[in-house]
Amino acid sequence: MGKAIKKLAVLTSGGDSPGMNAAIRSVVRTCAYHDIECVGVYRGYEGLIEGDFKAMDARSVKGIINKGGTILKSARSKEFRTEEGRKKAFKQLTDANIDGLVVVGGDGSFTGALIFNQEFDFPVMGIPGTIDNDIYGTSHTLGFDTALNTVVDAIDKIRDTASSHNRLFFIEVMGRDVGHIALNTGIAGGAEEILIPEEDLGLDRLVESLNKSRKSGKTSSIVIVAEGDKIGKNIFELKDYVDDNMEGYDVRVSVLGHMQRGGAPSCFDRVLASRMGVKAVESLLEGETNYMVGLLNNSVELTPLDKAIKGKSKINLELLRVSDIMST
Ligand code: ATP
């Protein structure tokens, strides 16, 4: 057991995601509840190195639970990747009498937190904040549910225009390494095909499947493409290939891009962020360190940071089968 914790810091790092503000609010209010001081660190590890801190009390986080982005700002810090940079960060924390750090971010941010702990024996706790849901040790990362709703809303709108013009739309969604967003929104949006990094459908089978659905009477089609899909062509090359090898459709592309990261967090993400913040602070107070809080079987549990970093977040194979059956 380390020394008693009297003051904690919280920062947001890496790509922002809806729900980060709700997590900051939860960390700050849990500290207030336990009579612990709390400090917000601006711009992730960059602000940690520079000592860009702000004392936060329970009232300072009013009106943010419903806001996307992060009031503490996020950043990627090259300097924190160096020992010199991390030494500066440690000095800033000790000069401010801070006893522990909550990091809201993705696996890169957790890697930084773990290295920092190993070098300075400084207590750290991670909260998974990324829309991609690509972190081991939690069924949901903060922002994933909101991003799903944003994407489904966009698919519904695109479907309106697709069916009015007999169009085939390729819609690109985020997901370089994992297809969680594509798979879930593809099912919810009634996509004919879903291309994900975990599965190589191949161009011939894609065209075959689209032809089949057109012959079965469909007048419009939507294909959801994860950024990192395995076919190995970018979405515009995919469109050209299908244009050249299929008749009967006007083929279009829509890249949803950064809109997927923004917007008011869903009810699910607000509740999840509130639960994760409580667990992160209370675990630090109990003397735990080097863990990530995550949702497992609807319970907020701790997973060692090294496991969360190294582990693979796997797609649900049952969903793949459901999507196949639904596109019949
Ligand atoms: P996202 O999933 O949105 O990309 P992330 O947390 O994985 O979020 P990264 O850019 O990979 O985002 O990492 C955020 C920051 O964490 C980096 O800018 C860097 O400051 C720190 N970091 C990442 N890897 C390391 C490392 N190996 N050593 C020290 N710090 C690191």
pLDDT, tens only, 191-212: 999 999 998 888 888 888 888 8
Alpha helix (H) ranges present in the chain? 20-33, 44-50, 83-95, 107-120, 144-164, 180-188, 203-215, 235-245, 267-285, 305-310, 317-326
Mean pLDDT of 61-67: 98
CA distances from 84 to 12, 49, 52, 122 (A): 21, 10, 17, 16
Residue identified by tokens 């994900």 is 196
Q: What pLDDT score does 294 carry? A: 98
Question: How far, in Å, from the CA of 13 to the mean position of ligand 1?
Answer: 7
Closest CA to 20 of 128, 174, 166, 123: 128
Atom nearest to 116 CA in ligand 1: 29
Closest CA to 319 of 94, 166, 133, 171: 133
Q: Which residues line ligand 1 (CB under 6 A)?
A: 13-15, 45, 76-77, 80-81, 105-109, 111-112, 115, 130
SS3 196: coil
Question: How far, in Å, from the CA of 131 to the mean position of ligand 1?
Answer: 15
* 142 DSSP β-pair partners: 129
Tell me whether residue 57 is one of the annotated catalytic residues: no
Tens of pLDDT, residue by residue over 314-327, are 999 899 899 989 98
Among residues 35, 57, 99, 132, the one annotated as catalytic is 132
Question: How far, in Å, from the CA of 14 to the mean position of ligand 1?
Answer: 6
Q: What percent of the chain has pLDDT over 70?
A: 99
Q: What pLDDT score does 95 carry? A: 98
Q: What pLDDT score does 15 carry? A: 93
Closest CA to 206 of 219, 189, 223, 220: 223
Q: What pLDDT score does 70 carry? A: 98
pLDDT exceeds cutoff 80 at 131:
yes
Q: Whose CA is nearest to atom 24 of ligand 1?
A: 108
Tens of pLDDT, residue by residue over 171-182, are 999 998 999 999
Which of 140-144, 234-238, 281-285 is the least confident region? 234-238
Residue 211's CB is within 10 A of a number of other CB atoms, namely 15
Q: What pLDDT score does 2 carry? A: 60
User: Strand pairing of 37-41 and 7-12?
Assistant: parallel
* Whole-prediction pTM: 0.96
